[in-house]
Amino acid sequence: MVKRLNNHFSQNIGDLIFEKLTLLFAVSVFLLVILMGYEMYLGSKISIQKFGFSFLFNSSWDPVQEVYGALPIIYGTVVSSILSLLIAVPLSIGVAIFLAEVAPSWLEKPVSFLVELLAGIPSVIYGLWGIFVLVPWLRNSFEPWLADKFGYLPFFRGAPYGFGMLAAVMILTIMLLPIISSISRDVLKAVPRSRREAALALGATKWQSTLIVLKDAKSGILGASMLGLGRAIGETMAVTMVIGNRSLISTSLFDPSYTMASVIANEFTEATSQMYLSSLIELALVLFIITIIINAFARILVWSMSRKWSAA
Amino acid sequence: MNIFYRLSLLIPLFSLLTHAQVQLVGTGATFPAVIYSKWFDEYRNTTGIQINYQPIGSGGGIRQIIEGTVDFGASDGPMTDRQLSDAKSKQGTGILHIPTVMGAVVVCYHIPGLGKGLNLDSRALSDIYIGRITMWDDPYIKNLNPESNLPHRAVLVAHRSDGSGTTFIFTDYLSKISSEWASKIGRGTSVNWPVGLGGKGNDGVAGLVKQTEGSVGYVELAYAIKNNIPYADIKNQSGYFIEPTFSSVSAAAMAASVNMPSDLRVSITDPPGKGSYPISGFTWLLVYQNMKNETKAKALVNFLKWAMSRGQALAAGLYYVPLPASIIKLCNNKINLITANGKKIK
Amino acid sequence: MKHRNYFLYRKKTTNVIMMSLTVIAALAAVIPLFLIFYYTLSKGIAYLNLNFFIAMPKPVGEPGGGMANAIVGTLILIGIGGAIGIPVGIMTGTYLSEFGKNKFGFMVRFLTDVLSGVPSIVVGVVAYTMVVIPMKHFSALAGGIALGILMIPTITRTTEEMIKLVPHSLREAGLALGIPKWKTTIAIVLRTAWKGIATGVLLGLSRAAGETAPLLFTALGNRFWSTKIMQPIASLTVYIYDYSKSPFEDWNQQAWTAALVLIILISVLSLLFRFVTRSKYKSD
């Protein structure tokens, strides 16, 4: 009897230790994220105190005068992400429809594999390709052609450097495509077959039944796009390597620009004053907060989608 | 689970491969990176001491020596008084500036159909970098180059995106000769550029210029020569167009070293003298006067002495200008001031 | 009648047009992949020789040399990252699936999702302020910690998902035999799910191998052979970045080769991943 009790007791102890041990790690992950935010807040304190909200709205990034305003950098980040998203989302939806609805399975598998492979290529390799293939092509062929045909538009003015906003948008688009399309494909596939079959039985064409599926999958695709947006905003290497690196607000896509992540990559180790460093950490903090908001929003959308169909 | 065990077993294995030997770490200027990497390679071959130098920019060299994350820094722009006092309060020791070599900042360009020998003066340079001159066949540039056939092409301006001593030398020069530049932009390891593309490092700017037709940029002489990029002759104080060469940079150093300050922080841009090239400068190693680790201090002092003797002989082959003998003497005096925990290095 | 046909015709044409558009979109997505692979392969292979794997980098501007130190450096960095990310990820994932059906579990799940979206450069900034500055040294350790943090979300979520896939009957069988819960979890549940978890681990490792941004100001770089974890260390990705913006053509060449080697390294990891997942389905 005593032995059994003992045994029982040790079982409980074992379970307790096991639970607390795994809890410890879960708590450490929890604390890690909190600590990251706190550490960046500490590091950026003097810049926050000095510039306040003007940090976000001042357009001069001037290390000589020790005045740091992130407006052109935020502008560059937002414009490059939004433009690339505008191109990548429709294309990705097309790819997702192709994979989930159109392609026969012998074609779907290898194409899906290729698309996922593209998602696994390190961003520095995209940048390498950007520098040596994309940028020279933009400079020598595409940008002069754009300037020639559409030069009356404010978007295609100025010297064709090759490096600049256009190059960044194109690289980001290529990088976003596999991410958004593979999630969208999963979302489309999550819509029950019965929805399609019902439409087809009523004499709808493939496209009409796809429209119905798309409507069902709306929030999931929106979530996928938000995840893509998060990725675009935080993308560092590929963008830094082709965007031209100057804080500038310009309507022309030919002009160089800067994003938050690329400013940090370029200037972080070499910020010579406390205020400079603090401003860069504040940029990282802003980036951190923005990605938290975007990701939270995206996850909620994707969750609501999966819950909808798992409940049905 | 086996795989995880095996993976985790690999990690101590890696650290077993380590060997106990002195390794010094330094970061900073890209301007002297070509000669430094040669020096450190040679020095490792002769002494076995590894000096790991990462050219991340002069701003980085200054920043990291203030933070104490490196054993030495390197910069082409001297540290400001404010930075020196920052370092003193953070690291509890002064910082010595040891000049190692000299170099010229050259204005290199990539104009189709135009080889060497473009003439530029201070006004042309500041106008290009302010954005007032936007085409290569601008009347002002044409006037300086009556014989050259300048194309009607946009001037694509390249500058540094990182904190850089090359930028310091270049903007120091422009600030000296243009009051507009001095008031609007100023001098520094990084400044708020009115126009142009940012490239990271001297190699980044040289890469941009080399890859981009119609571009102009400023880089260290060695980067221009090694990459076969043509560079401009610049008009000096006395009104001569001077090609950056050993003798024209040495002339600038000799002219400027007449009144060398005791801490060796000196600017030699826009010097007097008929044959002086106007945009050149020293590059410094930044070292702690009192180091905490004696082995490291010893290694560093020995290296610095080696750099002042044998090292200087390697400079010319890599298109850097060796220090004049008078300055080497001043440097050796400084090197002798380095201590480890307050004790002299033998 | 004609009227009806017109609508049918329109309906059919729209169908054909839209379906062709999806094919074009798929092509547009796959073409850049081919371009990137084509260039990496054709430019990278030119320099691919034994020397690249066993020789050290030459001084700046001198042609030749290899990246032996960077290849080893990348392996060490993902090793350190794995030493941190794998245990934390697996344990946290286990917690989430076994005990995580409460508010705290929800928070942790949410924060790991957030962490997976945090730009890697931000993790680099944090690793610099939290590791490099206090230790007063750039080091492989700092870089490895940054990579480890980046691996946590992938491994955590895969572990949680994989454990959930383990049939309840297995677990109940263990408990019915009087085996304590912790032993059941380790000996039965984790054992059954380990192949799935391993795929998550491999995915995390291969992503870490491709990271550049968090290494720039943590591991820094090293032109010498160094395997010490307290010293700066070289990595393939940082070399690709440095060499790609270099004016030296020889280095540009080597950047392509390094890219090729990196892709091969990652492909080997992801082939392992495929192999592991496949054998999992076979055994089921």
Maximum CA extent, chain A: 94
pLDDT at B8 over 90: no
Per-residue HEC secondary structure of chain A comes to CHHHHHHHHHHHHHHHHHHHHHHHHHHHHHHHHHHHHHHHHHHCHHHHHHHCCHHHHCCCEECCCCEECCHHHHHHHHHHHHHHHHHHHHHHHHHHHHHHHHCCHHHHHHHHHHHHHHHHCCHHHHHHHHHHHHHHHHHHHHHHHHHHHHCCCHHHCCCCCCCCHHHHHHHHHHHHHHHHHHHHHHHHHHCCHHHHHHHHHCCCCHHHHHHHHHHHCHHHHHHHHHHHHHHHHHCCHHHHHHCECCCCCCCCCCCCECCHHHHHHHHHHHCCCHHHHHHHHHHHHHHHHHHHHHHHHHHHHHHHHHHHHHHC
pLDDT at B16 over 70: no
pLDDT at A198 over 60: yes
Candidates A12, A36, A259: best to mutate against C (most CBs of C within 10 A) is A36
Per-range mean pLDDT, top range of A45-54, A78-87, A157-166, B246-255: A78-87
Q: Token pair for residue C23?
A: 């094919």
Per-residue HEC secondary structure of chain C comes to CHHHHHHHHHHHHHHHHHHHHHHHHHHHHHHHHHHHHHHHHHHHHCCCCHHHHHCCECCCCCCCECCHHHHHHHHHHHHHHHHHHHHHHHHHHHHHHHHCCCHHHHHHHHHHHHHHHCCHHHHHHHHHHHHHHHHCCCCHHHHHHHHHHHHHHHHHHHHHHHHHHCCHHHHHHHHHCCCCHHHHHHHHHHHHHHHHHHHHHHHHHHHHHCCCHHHCCCCCCCCCCCCCCCCCCCCHHHHHHHHHCCCCHHHHHHHHHHHHHHHHHHHHHHHHHHHHHHHHHHHC
Residue-range domain boundaries for chain A: 44-311
The pLDDT of residue A244 is 87
Nearest partner of C257 among C111, C98, C46, C94, judged by Cα: C46
Considering only CB atoms, which chain B residues are within 8 Å of A273? Answer: 82-83, 86
Option in B83, B156, B185 nearest A161 (CB):
B156
The pLDDT of residue C279 is 56
Nearest-CA distance from B157 to chain C in Å? 17
pLDDT tens column, C191-248: 888 888 988 898 899 899 999 999 998 998 888 888 888 999 999 999 999 888 777 7
* Architecture (CATH level 2) of domain A44-311: Orthogonal Bundle (1.10)
Q: Is A188 exposed, middle or buried (0-12, 13-18, 19+ CB in 10 A)?
A: buried
The pLDDT of residue A7 is 57
The reply to whether B94 falls in a domain is: yes
Nearest-CA distance from B191 to chain A in Å? 6
**B162 & B49 share domain:** no
pLDDT tens column, C39-59: 999 999 988 888 899 888 888
Candidates B193, B202, B216: best to mutate against A (most CBs of A within 10 A) is B193
Q: Token pair for residue A241?
A: 């390597």
The pLDDT of residue C4 is 65
Q: Do C59 and B37 touch (CB under 8 A)?
A: yes
pLDDT tens column, A72-107: 999 999 999 999 999 999 999 999 999 988 888 888
Nearest-CA distance from C175 to chain B in Å? 21
Report how far residue A36's alpha carbon sits from residue C152's, in angstroms, rounded to the nearest whole number.
14
Nearest-CA distance from A275 to chain B in Å? 12
Mean of the per-residue pLDDT values for chain B? 87
Residue that the structure tokens 């920052």 belong to = B86
Q: How many residues does the structure list for chain A?
A: 312
The larger pLDDT score, comparing residue A15 to residue B290, is at B290
Q: Do A181 and C108 touch (CB under 8 A)?
A: no
pLDDT at B226 over 80: no
Report how far residue B209's alpha carbon sits from residue B108's, in angstroms, rounded to the nearest whole number.
8
Nearest-CA distance from A22 to chain C in Å? 5
Considering only CB atoms, which chain A residues are within 8 Å of C110? Answer: 296, 299
Structure confidence at residue C183 as a pLDDT band (50, 70, 90): confident
Per-residue pLDDT averaged across C274-278, rounded? 67
**B241 & B284 share domain:** no
Considering only CB atoms, which chain B residues are within 8 Å of A266? Answer: 161-162, 198, 200
The pLDDT of residue B197 is 86
Number of domains in chain B: 2
Find chains touching chain A: ≥3 CB pairs under 8 Å: B, C
* Torsion, Cα of C1, C5, C7, C12 (10° steps): 160
Per-residue pLDDT averaged across B75-99, rounded? 91
Considering only CB atoms, which chain A residues are within 8 Å of B208? Answer: 163
The pLDDT of residue B18 is 45
Considering only CB atoms, which chain C residues are within 8 Å of A208? Answer: 11, 15
Nearest-CA distance from C85 to chain A in Å? 10
The reply to whether B46 falls in a domain is: yes
Report how far residue C38's alpha carbon sits from residue C259's, in angstroms, rounded to the nearest whole number.
12
Enumerate residues 6+ apart whose C-beta is below 8 A from B62: A270, A272, B28, B73, B75, B79, B83, B163, B189, B286
Strands B280-288 and B72-75, by their bridges, are antiparallel
Considering only CB atoms, which chain C residues are within 8 Å of B203? Answer: 245-248
Sheet harboring B233-235: ordered strands across?
A: B119-120, B233-235, B241-242
**What ipTM is given for this predicted complex?**
0.90
Considering only CB atoms, which chain B residues are within 8 Å of A131? Answer: 211
Find the distance separating the first CA and the last CA of chain B, reported in whole Å: 55
The reply to whether B271 falls in a domain is: no
Candidates C56, C58, C60, C138: best to mutate against B (most CBs of B within 10 A) is C60
Mean of the per-residue pLDDT values for chain A? 87
B241 phi, psi to nearest 5 deg: -85, 120
From residue B296, give the alpha-carbon distance in Å to each of A202, B285, B292, B339: 82, 15, 8, 11
The pLDDT of residue A11 is 61
pLDDT tens column, C99-111: 988 999 988 998 9
CB pairs under 8 A between A and C: 261
Per-residue pLDDT averaged across C144-171, rounded? 92
The pLDDT of residue A47 is 93
The pLDDT of residue A6 is 54
- Tell me the HSE value of B326 on the side-chain side, using a 13 A CA sphere: 10
What residues 218-247 of chain A have any CB closer than 8 A to a CB of chain C? 227, 230-231, 233-237, 241
C282 phi, psi to nearest 5 deg: -65, -45
Nearest-CA distance from C16 to chain B in Å? 45
The reply to whether B225 falls in a domain is: yes
Considering only CB atoms, which chain C residues are within 8 Å of B18? Answer: 227-228
Nearest partner of C260 among C71, C61, C30, judged by Cα: C71
Per-residue pLDDT averaged across C53-71, rounded? 85
Nearest-CA distance from A136 to chain B in Å? 8
pLDDT at B163 over 70: yes
Q: Token pair for residue A38?
A: 């706190």
Per CATH, the number for C67-283 is 1.10.3720.10
Structure confidence at residue A21 as a pLDDT band (50, 70, 90): very high
Structure confidence at residue B204 as a pLDDT band (50, 70, 90): confident
The larger pLDDT score, comparing residue C3 to residue A176, is at A176
Per-residue pLDDT averaged across B82-106, rounded? 91
For the question of whether the overall pTM of this predicted structure is more than 0.95, the answer is: no
**B111 & B93 share domain:** no
Q: Do C213 and A178 touch (CB under 8 A)?
A: no
Considering only CB atoms, which chain B residues are within 8 Å of A63? Answer: 163, 188-192
Say how many C-beta atoms besides its own lie within 10 A of residue B121's C-beta.
21
Considering only CB atoms, which chain C residues are within 8 Å of B200? Answer: 245
B241 forms beta bridges with B235
Per-residue pLDDT averaged across B210-225, rounded? 88
Structure confidence at residue A40 as a pLDDT band (50, 70, 90): very high
The pLDDT of residue C59 is 81
The reply to whether B274 falls in a domain is: no
Q: Token pair for residue C146?
A: 């940054």
Q: Do A163 and B162 touch (CB under 8 A)?
A: no
Q: Do B69 and C137 touch (CB under 8 A)?
A: yes
CATH classification of the domain holding B163: 3.40.190.10
C82 phi, psi to nearest 5 deg: -65, -40
pLDDT tens column, B276-289: 999 999 999 999 99
Maximum CA extent, chain C: 85
Which residue range is the domain that position B135 belongs to? 104-258
Considering only CB atoms, which chain B residues are within 8 Å of A256? Answer: 196-198
Candidates B39, B41, B231: best to mutate against C (most CBs of C within 10 A) is B41
The pLDDT of residue B23 is 85
Q: Do C83 and B11 touch (CB under 8 A)?
A: yes
Q: Do A161 and B189 touch (CB under 8 A)?
A: no
Query: What's the one-letter identity of residue A151?
Result: G
Q: Which residue of A has its CA nearest to B63?
A: A272
The pLDDT of residue A93 is 93
Query: What's the one-letter identity of residue C174?
Result: G
Per-residue pLDDT averaged across B140-146, rounded? 92
Per-residue pLDDT averaged across B133-155, rounded? 91
The larger pLDDT score, comparing residue C179 to residue B7, is at C179
Q: Is B42 exposed, middle or buried (0-12, 13-18, 19+ CB in 10 A)?
A: middle
Structure confidence at residue A9 as a pLDDT band (50, 70, 90): low
The pLDDT of residue B165 is 82
Q: Do C36 and A129 touch (CB under 8 A)?
A: yes
Q: Which residue of B has its CA nearest to A265?
A: B162
Nearest partner of A169 among A118, A223, A242, A120, judged by Cα: A242
Q: Do C118 and A115 touch (CB under 8 A)?
A: no
The pLDDT of residue A1 is 45
Enumerate residues 6+ apart whose C-beta is below 8 A from C282: none
Candidates C4, C77, C90, C95: best to mutate against A (most CBs of A within 10 A) is C95
Per-residue pLDDT averaged across C134-159, rounded? 94
Q: Do C87 and A25 touch (CB under 8 A)?
A: yes
Q: Do C35 and A133 touch (CB under 8 A)?
A: yes
Structure confidence at residue B12 as a pLDDT band (50, 70, 90): very low
Q: Token pair for residue C167?
A: 């049939």
Q: Do A291 and C114 touch (CB under 8 A)?
A: yes
The larger pLDDT score, comparing residue B182 to residue B117, is at B182
B279 contacts B163 by C-beta, under 8 angstroms: no
Sheet harboring B197-199: ordered strands across?
A: B50-55, B23-28, B72-75, B280-288, B95-110, B215-220, B156-160, B197-199
The reply to whether B267 falls in a domain is: no
pLDDT at B101 over 80: yes
Per-residue pLDDT averaged across A281-296, rounded? 91
The pLDDT of residue A79 is 95
Residue that the structure tokens 């076979």 belong to = C282
Say how many C-beta atoms besides its own lie within 10 A of residue A149's C-beta.
10
pLDDT tens column, C236-250: 999 999 888 777 788
Per-residue pLDDT averaged across B295-308, rounded? 94
From residue A279, give the alpha-carbon distance in Å to each of A276, B165, C98: 5, 21, 43
Considering only CB atoms, which chain A residues are within 8 Å of B156? Answer: 159, 161
pLDDT at A161 over 90: no
Considering only CB atoms, which chain B residues are within 8 Å of A270? Answer: 56-63, 162-163, 189-190
Nearest partner of A233 among A202, A254, A264, A210, judged by Cα: A264
What residues 44-83 of chain C have any CB closer than 8 A to a CB of chain B? 58-61, 75-76, 79-80, 82-83
The pLDDT of residue C266 is 87
Q: Do B155 and A270 touch (CB under 8 A)?
A: no
Considering only CB atoms, which chain A residues are within 8 Å of B213? Answer: 139
Residue-range domain boundaries for chain C: 67-283
